[in-house]
Amino acid sequence: MIERDHWWPVALDGDVGAAPLPVALLGEPLVLWRDGAGAVQAFADRCPHRGARLSLGAVVGGQLQCPYHGWRFDGDGRCRAIPALPGFAPPVSHAAYRHAVVSAHGLLWVCLGTPAAPAPPALPPLPPRRVVHGPFDVATSAPRAIENFLDTAHFAWVHDGWLGAPTHAEVPPYEVTLTADGRPVVPDYPAWQPRATASAQGGAWVRYRYEVLSPFAALLQKQPEGDAPADAYVMWTCPSTPETCRVWFVQHTTDTITPDEALRDFQSAIFAQDRPILESQTPKRLPLSGGEAMCAADRLSAAYRRYLRAAGVTFGVC
């Protein structure tokens, strides 16, 4: 499964405190914790002794202590203590299973396999003010969630009065290009939006630029007409299981006035409109080999599905 060789976000940098934090990635339970040096570690959430969930344990003296028999593991995964045998030096084979974890874009990223790239996807220069929205735990697959983010034809219906209106339901012909490595891009899409941003004073034409960053991540840049603030949203998705995902929207904005809370309220309102539709879609896995009707307005969805097929993605698709 090629997805194992990608980096995926599993938590925000600040989410890992004194207690172990359980997360799921590609169907595997993981535990994140901070070792004695302050570094975040990602282990399989399964003790090598009897399979108990390490995330039910505690961090003691910079080591992760299993809740069942108290075995303790250091940041390298080595078992350092077996309380039932105080004089025993545990062998290397008693180690917990450790995965690579890095920090980037304010998030922690894990690769379960052999990293195909040294780091998570890079971002172009974006406005410096960053506001994180989420996490949102969504009962659908990561590719269904990303496809919704790339879809403009639903604005008039799902986001009526906000990002669209039935009077402007038409999707004009728009161009989809590909990056050198085959990722779909929509360089310019004009959308009429009654309330495009938290600070919008009325309807405006907004120029959208979409870029798929990885199989389950995408960037949207929004430039309203006039001198209204420009926004970029990065949708980072953790493919937790084949039919559930965890989503963060990281907003970069030139808006220096609107408080964080108002920006969060706006994005939460938008996502609350998307969520019931997203979670109603069946199948929850994104169909890559037909089975759903396509029209010309769906050309970005079609390009995204072709990209997933070409990339050999098998997780969360059918």
Residue 68 or 271 having the CB closest to ligand FES: 68
Instruction: Answer whether 189's CB lies under 8 Å from 174's CB.
Output: yes
Q: How far is the CB of 264 from ligand FES (least distance, A)?
A: 39
Q: How far is the CB of 57 from ligand FES (least distance, A)?
A: 8
For residue 274, the partner it binds in Co ion, ligand FES, none, with Cβ less than 5 to 8 A by kind, is Co ion
For residue 47, the partner it binds in ligand FES, Co ion, none, with Cβ less than 5 to 8 A by kind, is ligand FES
Question: Contact between 231 and Co ion (CB under 5 A)?
Answer: no
For residue 271, the partner it binds in Co ion, ligand FES, none, with Cβ less than 5 to 8 A by kind, is none
Residue 77 or 316 having the CB closest to ligand FES: 77
Q: Which of residues 54-73 bind ligand FES (CB under 6 A)?
A: 66, 68-69, 71
Give the interface size with Co ion as a residue count (CB under 5 A). Answer: 1
Question: Interacting stretch for Co ion, rule CB under 5 A, among 37-45, 121-129, 266-274, 280-288?
Answer: 266-274
Residue 118 or 276 having the CB closest to Co ion: 276
| Residue of 29, 35, 44, 49 interacting with ligand FES (CB under 6 A) | 49
Q: How far is the CB of 22 from ligand FES (least distance, A)?
A: 15
| Burial degree of 84 (CB within 10 A; 0-12, 13-18, 19+) | exposed
Instruction: Answer whether 80's CB lies under 8 Å from 71's CB.
Output: no
User: Which H, E and C letters describe the chain, residue by residue?
Assistant: CHHHHCCEEEEEHHHCCCCCEEEEECCEEEEEEECCCCCEEEEECCCCCCCCCHHHCEEECCEEECCCCCCEECCCCCEEECCCCCCCCCCHHHCCCEEEEEEECCEEEEECCCCCCCCCCCCCCCCCEEEEEEEEEECCCHHHHHHHHCCCCCHHHHCECCCECHHHCCCCCCCCEECCCCCEEEEEEEEEECCCCCCCCCCEEEEEEEEEEECCEEEEEEEECCCCCCEEEEEEEEEEECCEEEEEEEEEECCCCCCHHHHHHHHHHHHHHHHHHHHHCCCCCECCCCCCCCCHHHHHHHHHHHHHHHHCCCCCEC
For residue 109, the partner it binds in Co ion, ligand FES, none, with Cβ less than 5 to 8 A by kind, is none
For residue 66, the partner it binds in Co ion, ligand FES, none, with Cβ less than 5 to 8 A by kind, is ligand FES
Residue 45 or 274 having the CB closest to Co ion: 274
| Residue of 22, 36, 39, 50 interacting with ligand FES (CB under 6 A) | 50
Residue 71 or 236 having the CB closest to ligand FES: 71
For Co ion, the binding residues (CB under 5 A) are: 274
For ligand FES, the binding residues (CB under 6 A) are: 47, 49-50, 52, 66, 68-69, 71
